[in-house]
Amino acid sequence: MADKVLIYSRFPKTMMARFAERFELLDTGGKPAREVFSADELGGIRAMLTAGGTPLGAEAMDLFPKLGAIVCYGTGYDGIDLKAAAARNIAVGHSPGANAASVADIAMTLMLATTRRILVADQYVRSGDWAASKPSPMMRPQAGMPGRRIGVYGMGEIGRKIAARCAAFESKIGYFSRTKYDLPYQYFPTLEALADWCSVLMIAVRAGDETQHVVNADILGRLGADGYVVNISRGSVIDQQALVAALTDKTIAGAGLDVFEKEPHAPDALTALPNVVFAPHLGGHTLESHVAMQNCVLANLGAFFEGKRLPYGVKSA
Amino acid sequence: MADKVLIYSRFPKTMMARFAERFELLDTGGKPAREVFSADELGGIRAMLTAGGTPLGAEAMDLFPKLGAIVCYGTGYDGIDLKAAAARNIAVGHSPGANAASVADIAMTLMLATTRRILVADQYVRSGDWAASKPSPMMRPQAGMPGRRIGVYGMGEIGRKIAARCAAFESKIGYFSRTKYDLPYQYFPTLEALADWCSVLMIAVRAGDETQHVVNADILGRLGADGYVVNISRGSVIDQQALVAALTDKTIAGAGLDVFEKEPHAPDALTALPNVVFAPHLGGHTLESHVAMQNCVLANLGAFFEGKRLPYGVKSA
């Protein structure tokens, strides 16, 4: 009989197809597990697959007395209470780096779309306003990429790929992260110093309790009226209310957002703004990165059921 | 007295400010010069400033018997009849490379916006459809950049900058141009071979009679159903009718267009399509590239009035 895996978050069926070939999947469809499956069924669950952003704390873990592995689909694991997992001897796995290129690409897409105002540009052509030579702020030239100061917050795999891409655009790259690396980019010892220096802040930091709302009104103010913020990490890193205020009163020029505080909800005050480009958390959402993430999931689940260490494990807190 | 310069195309006043400090400008506002100025005034004109795409043939040149210099604002000079200019001993100048980075950036912006479907993504969030979990083709993963085959048509300054940027995205780069260069990209001897190989065709060729409609139904067909075309060169390079057909019947997946056959007009059949991202020919339109283009214009006009060779001259045909 195939090993059983509980699907804890809501995932499209197509993304689960490769797992279904190898395991018996108990799919909650994102609903509370107890509403979908009997206590008996849940009691036997030894492994679950979840999205890293889905909250999963001690109480939830205790619903599954035999739980030994929480495998996250994707690189993030910010929803998982790592201490609670460790205390229960539950291994936590993820897909490190599998979607880094894809996420870095969406960061670049959002930065370019925002700074070159592609939504406004597209609408200017589609509406016929260009043909009618209607005046538009669109036609005021903006700063380009060469020489532009790009600040990368977080220098993990995604941050590095963003930096490498920006460098090809002839931009100046600075970064802040806890560690200073041997990289050809200017290091800033604080996020404040980075924000003072750069005009585009690219948020690529791994989210967690210590990064909650660190990009606040003060940091946004330091970016200045020509400043942009792009977030492809987690919505929790930005104080979303402060961001709405900064975009509304033109404290900063614009933003590109793939992530939000309460997904899939983006507040009306935010979505009404013309100087933002939105994406529905699709950064890691390419064919290649799904294959790579699925490879990590299969390797983690396979190892767990064979009684081995997870090959893509998260270090416990 | 300041030397006189006729402004032949329609330019925003702000873009002419630096020229007005040094020359007496006779601004047609893009209207026929004879409607705006007397034959007497036009008879004395020795130099004019024009947009490279504005048609300027033998007949138009003959309205200015003393004309000695046609200076194009920007890199293009496809509107100028070079043979007619040479026959009349009129020097033609432009701004080579001044906007290359800015144009390469808009090519990347259009490619990423199109392949990552950023218009659809943005609308999916803004409309509330994401929050309502409405099904959307948006949520089907697409091919990302790593490993993607990018074909660059034309390897001048802009083509090289596009290739360098794409390389940072971990893509494979191929190119076709009349000349094979010592570059780390795969050379294809024909546009057909490049189109067979690549999934994104980036048009960066210098436009002219020999490139008229070379990207036709056949070339588009070779890109295939997963193929994209991005044009930042001139609208004349693509057979626009064939493009509309290829986009409508899904012969190709999408397009990113900064240029059109008859600017500023984009036909309704084109602008109605959801799988295209449009920009109103703003590729070279950044603060830095305007400064660089203006530097070339000032150097060309200054040299001409001092009786010297244009430092940024176009080789005559």
Instruction: Name the residue of chain B whose CA is nearest to A147's CA.
Output: B288
d(CA A32, CA A44): 16
For residue B176, give how far its alpha carbon lies from the nearest alpha carbon of chain A (Å): 21
- The DSSP H or E segment spanning A187 is strand A186-187
Contact B144, A289 (CB under 8 A): yes
For residue B293, give how far its alpha carbon lies from the nearest alpha carbon of chain A (Å): 13
If we measure between CA atoms, which residue out of B214, B153, B241, B150 comes closest to residue B189?
A: B153
Is B116 within 8 Å of A124 when comparing Cβ atoms? no
d(CA A48, CA A91): 11
Strands A69-73 and A149-153: unpaired
Any catalytic annotation for residue A160? no
Is B105 within 8 Å of A138 when comparing Cβ atoms? no
Any catalytic annotation for residue B281? yes
Question: Which amino acid would we find at residue B77?
Answer: Y
Is A118 within 8 Å of B116 when comparing Cβ atoms? no
Is B169 within 8 Å of A170 when comparing Cβ atoms? no
DSSP state of A101: H
Locus of tokens 């009718």: B241
Residue A238 tokens, joined: 């930005």
Query: Distance of CA A32 to CAs A80, A84, B14, Å?
Result: 16, 19, 61
- Name chain A contacts of B109, Cβ cutoff 8 Å: 112-113, 116, 118
Measured between CB atoms, which of B105, B143, B278 is closest to A121? B278
Catalytic residue among A234, A261, A285, A290: A234
User: Which domains, from first to last, does chain A contain?
Assistant: 4-98+287-305 (3.40.50.720), 100-278 (3.40.50.720)
Tell me, letter by letter, the H, E, C secondary structure of chain B.
CCCEEEECCCCCHHHHHHHHCCCEEEECCCCCHHHHCCHHHHHCCCEEEEECCCCECHHHHCCCCCCCEEEEECCCCCCECHHHHHHCCCEEECCCCCCHHHHHHHHHHHHHHHHCCHHHHHHHHHCCCCCCCCCCHHHCCECCCCCCEEEEECCCHHHHHHHHHHHHCCCEEEEECCCCCCCCCEECCCHHHHHHHCCEEEECCCCCHHHCCCECHHHHHHHCCCCEEEECCCHHHECHHHHHHHHHCCCCCEEEECCCCECCECCHHHHCCCCEEECCCCCCCEHHHHHHHHHHHHHHHHHHHCCCCCCCECCCC
Catalytic residue among B234, B261, B265, B290: B234
pLDDT at B316: 64
User: Looking at this predicted complex, what is its ipTM?
Assistant: 0.91
d(CA A304, CA A130): 60
Is A109 within 8 Å of B126 when comparing Cβ atoms? no
Tell me, letter by letter, the H, E, C secondary structure of B41-63.
HHHCCCEEEEECCCCECHHHHCC
Is A142 within 8 Å of B113 when comparing Cβ atoms? no
- pLDDT above 90 as % of chain B: 92
For residue B266, give how far its alpha carbon lies from the nearest alpha carbon of chain A (Å): 7
If we measure between CA atoms, which residue out of B112, B139, B124 comes closest to residue A108?
A: B112
DSSP state of A250: T
A229 CB-near residues (< 8 Å, 6+ apart): A200, A201, A203, A215, A220, A223, A238, A243, A252, A255, A256
B265 CB-near residues (< 8 Å, 6+ apart): A131
What does the pLDDT average to over B139-145?
A: 89
Catalytic residue among B281, B288, B306, B309: B281
Instruction: Name the residue of chain B whose CA is nearest to A163's CA.
Output: B168
pLDDT tens, position by position, for chain A (317 residues)?
799 999 999 998 889 999 999 999 999 999 999 999 999 999 999 999 999 999 999 999 999 999 999 999 998 999 999 999 999 999 999 999 899 999 999 999 999 999 999 999 999 999 999 999 898 887 788 899 999 999 999 999 999 999 999 999 999 999 999 999 999 999 999 999 999 999 999 999 999 889 999 999 999 999 999 999 999 999 999 999 999 999 999 999 999 999 999 999 999 999 999 999 999 999 999 999 999 999 999 999 999 999 999 999 997 64
Any catalytic annotation for residue A234? yes
Instruction: Name the residue of chain A whose CA is nearest to B260's CA.
Output: A125
What does the pLDDT average to over B250-279?
A: 96
Measured between CB atoms, which of A105, A131, A280 is closest to B112? A105
For residue B108, give how far its alpha carbon lies from the nearest alpha carbon of chain A (Å): 8
What does the pLDDT average to over B262-271?
A: 95
Is A12 within 8 Å of B139 when comparing Cβ atoms? yes
Measured between CB atoms, which of B102, B144, B168 is closest to A165? B168
B313 CB-near residues (< 8 Å, 6+ apart): B91, B92, B93, B300
What does the pLDDT average to over B103-116?
A: 98
Contact B264, A130 (CB under 8 A): yes
Is A125 within 8 Å of B271 when comparing Cβ atoms? yes
If we measure between CA atoms, which residue out of A141, A316, A159 comes closest to residue A230?
A: A159
Residue B40 CA to chain centroid, in angstroms? 35
Instruction: Name the residue of chain A whose CA is nearest to B169's CA.
Output: A165
Is A105 within 8 Å of B169 when comparing Cβ atoms? yes
Instruction: Name the residue of chain A whose CA is nearest to B257's CA.
Output: A122
Residue B142 tokens, joined: 């697409």
pLDDT at A139: 77
pLDDT at B135: 86
Is B109 within 8 Å of A105 when comparing Cβ atoms? no
Measured between CB atoms, which of B110, B169, B286 is closest to A142? B286
Question: Which amino acid would we find at residue A219?
Answer: I
Measured between CB atoms, which of B119, B168, B282 is closest to A167? B168
Query: Distance of CA A165 to CAs A172, A179, A212, B64, Å?
Result: 11, 21, 27, 49
DSSP state of A282: -
* Sheet with B172-176: strands ordered across: B186-187, B172-176, B149-153, B200-203, B228-231, B254-257, B276-278
Catalytic residue among A263, A265, A306, A309: A263
d(CA A309, CA A96): 16
* Segment B234-248, tens digit of pLDDT: 999 999 999 999 999
